[in-house]
Amino acid sequence: MEHQQDDQKKNSQGGGKKPKVSIWAALLITVGLILIGNFIITAISNSQYTHTTYTEFREEMNTGNLSEVMLYSDRIVYMTKEMAAKDPSQQKACFTGLPYGDVRALADELEAQGVKVDQDIPKDNSLLMTILSYVVMFGLIFGVMSIMTKRMGGEGFMGGIGSSKAKMYMEKQTGVTFKDVAGQDEAKESLQEIIDFLHNPQKYAEIGAKLPKGALLVGSPGTGKTLLAKAVAGEANVPFFSISGSDFVEMFVGVGASRVRDLFHQAAKVAPCIIFIDEIDAVGRSRDSRYGGNSEHEQTLNQLLGEIDGFDSSKGIVCLAATNRPEILDKALLRPGRFDRRIVVDRPNLQGRLDTLKVHTRKIKLSEDVDLQKIAQATAGAVGADLANLVNEAALRAVRNGRKAVNQEDLLISFETVIAGTEKKNTVLTDTEKRMVAYHEVGHALISALYKEDTPVTKITIVPHTEGALGYTLYLPEEEKYLSTREELTTNLRSLLGGRAAEQVVFATMTTGAANDIQRATALARNMVALYGMSQELGLMAPASVANQYLDGQTYLDCSQDTSAQIDQAVQKLLNQCYEDAVNTLTQHRELLDEVAGYLLAKETITGEELMKFVNAGKEETTTEKPDEE
């Protein structure tokens, strides 16, 4: 047992990083070197003779000028009497090709002239000896290469081409535990039960429960699926095999299936254990018959299905897999008895984001003014990877500014940097462009401030940024919301179109600055009509569906052309109505629009509190004017 654990520890530390020795490439290089060496030896050997034609040889033979002749199977080496009379150090024989014919007759003719003849007569078993020599030569090459690859960490002559590439971890060598994972309490609870089953199987066996064979981690990129799997490795105290789905895919037929067999064979030796397959959609994609039924992909998937069915769950082998594309996985892979559980690793809520920020700031020096609650509130929709990047950017900014601790401003500016990029200090706008950008951004902000259903404004700036924005309006929600009413979504549309409405009210023109606003407004309006059932024209019909909900979440229509045309008309009608509302609202509050825009032009950046001072002052003036009018 101690020897087995030592082998496992060695495997966890360095076994996963074996040098990739290409045996076939080495073989080709060796054969090439042999051919090149043979060519060089032949060239050197031929350089010792003077090359002549067969006609010249016959002339020397007919004149009786030959002294010695050596007959080979493919050439003739000879020496004339003049050459033989020279000093041995200066003698250089001639050679020429041997044409097809009776070599014995040529030898007899030369002997009749008194020429000394020597002949290389092939033996009867020369062909067999030649074949045997090649077999022995290549056998030696294969043997030497096999020994070399094994010493270099390979898997014999084939270089482990059919063996599993899984890395194995033991105990807490991953360096990650459940304490390092925040905001995923439900997922941790499900995985904790699996770990407990591995540690105390008798507790579940007494009641008749069976260990789940597999669990599928599903969620958006960056939510922490792989981190959760590593935390399982840190908590389990059992061997943990980690492999990517792409490691099964090869151009050679049967290699993927062989690697699956080898992986489960290794796992059976050290059970109880956990197998983690990251990005399982690379190998578990749904099967079809478009390209035939004998592809390498299908063989690998079939082998995976068979291996999951084949092992005994009582032995304690659990398969974990992660993907962000569950809709393309084969149905046979998801049925009960294989991947029994689907664990959704969703975007964290407010409390989850706060806990995640606390995890990522444990090793960061924070100043006293840092309020992680506000940062968590501002980052609605962010995943764990986004929050980790935000904290790191804040730390880098603190170092750039010569401070030894991260303050609240660092965190907020880092959040804005992720959204809009860094400031473009060299971009100089003309006065006209600056006024247009200022009115455009104030148009967004005023619509949001005047309609209380919308998210309050936190910051307005007309400083250009690297993400292509000449300015932006930042909204921070006051509370976590999971549902949106039709009125709230309509107000969002008015706010998105408020920038274009301000351009129309003030300058009576349109600019390209509203391009992104219009795209977002169109997408929201289309979802309201085709997905949420919020239009009078289509009613409770939802002709749109969401594809890849954990990736881009784009929608696609599954309806007739007539229905699609009705959707376009309903979207256009909704956008036109919201645009008219925005124009009317800004026209009624034209003085307030001019005041805030002028203040923004002077300061370039204002806060939501400064904006609300103007808005509240305008409301008080309106209230005091009403009794006078009566």
Task: Give the pLDDT confidence of 578-606 residue by residue, as tens digits.
Answer: 999 999 999 999 999 999 999 989 888 88
With a cut of 80, say whether residue 538 has pLDDT above it: yes
Residue 33 has pLDDT above 80, yes or no: no
pLDDT at 17 over 60: no
Give me the pLDDT at residue 258, please: 83
DSSP H or E segment with residue 70: strand 66-71
Of 491, 506, 503, the closest CA to residue 456 belongs to: 491
The architecture that CATH gives domain 167-344 is: 3-Layer(aba) Sandwich (3.40)
Lowest mean pLDDT among 92-106, 316-330, 416-430, 528-542: 416-430
Q: What is residue 13's predicted lDDT score, i.e. its pLDDT?
A: 40
Asked which of 18-27, 28-37, 472-481 is least confident by mean pLDDT, the reply is 18-27
Topology annotation, domain 350-420: Helicase, Ruva Protein; domain 3 (1.10.8)
Q: SS3 for 235-282, per residue?
A: HHCCCEEEEEHHHHCCCCCCHHHHHHHHHHHHHHHCCCEEEEEECHHH
Classify burial at 464, counting beta carbons within 10 Å of its beta carbon; exposed 0-12, middle 13-18, buried 19 or more: buried
Q: What is the pTM of this model?
A: 0.65
Average pLDDT over residues 2-14: 43
Which stretch, 138-152, 242-256, 533-547, has highest mean pLDDT?
Answer: 533-547
Q: Which has more confidence, 417 or 10?
A: 417
The yes-or-no verdict on residue 240 having pLDDT over 90 is no
Which residue has better confidence, 392 or 165?
Answer: 392
| DSSP secondary structure letters along 395-458 | HHHHHHTT-SSB-HHHHHHHHHHHHH-SB-TT----HHHHHHHHHHHHHHHHHHHHSTTSPPEE
Q: Note the pLDDT of residue 12.
A: 43
284 vs 35, residue with greater confidence: 284
* pLDDT tens digits for range 170-209: 555 667 788 888 878 888 888 888 888 877 777 877 888 7
Given its phi and psi angles, is residue 316 left (phi above 0), alpha (psi -120 to 50 degrees) or beta? Answer: left
pLDDT of residue 6: 45
Residue 180 is classified by DSSP as: G
- Amino acid 14: pLDDT: 40
Mean pLDDT confidence for 436-446:
92
Domains 167-344 and 431-517+568-629 share a fold: no
Domain locations in the chain as residue ranges: 52-120, 167-344, 350-420, 431-517+568-629
Cβ neighbours, 10 Å, residue 157? 17
Question: What tens digit of pLDDT does each residue of 60-111 get?
Answer: 888 888 888 888 777 788 888 888 777 776 677 887 877 766 677 788 788 8
Does 1.20.58.760 match the CATH number of domain 431-517+568-629? yes
Please compute the mean of the pLDDT values over residues 148-177 and round it to a whole number: 55
Give the pLDDT score at 19: 41
Residue 441 known to be catalytic: yes
CATH code: domain 52-120 is: 3.30.720.210
* pLDDT in the model for residue 420: 59
Q: Is the pLDDT of residue 410 over 80?
A: yes
Q: Between 574 and 80, name the one with better pLDDT.
A: 574
Q: Is 76 helix (H, G, I), strand (E, B) or coil?
A: strand
Does 416 score more than 60 pLDDT? yes
Residue 546 has pLDDT above 70, yes or no: yes
Residue 130 pLDDT: 60
Out of 235, 416, 441, 503, the active site residue is: 441
Q: What is the mean predicted confidence (pLDDT) over 294-310? A: 78
Q: Which has the minimum average pLDDT: 183-192, 356-365, 484-493? A: 183-192
Tell which wins on pLDDT, 466 or 206: 206
Q: Give residue 105's pLDDT.
A: 78
Write out pLDDT tens, residues 366-385.
999 899 988 888 888 788 88
Q: What is the mean pLDDT of residues 165-169?
A: 60
Give the Cα separation of 301 and 297 in Å (integer).
6
Pairing of strands 457-461, 273-278: unpaired
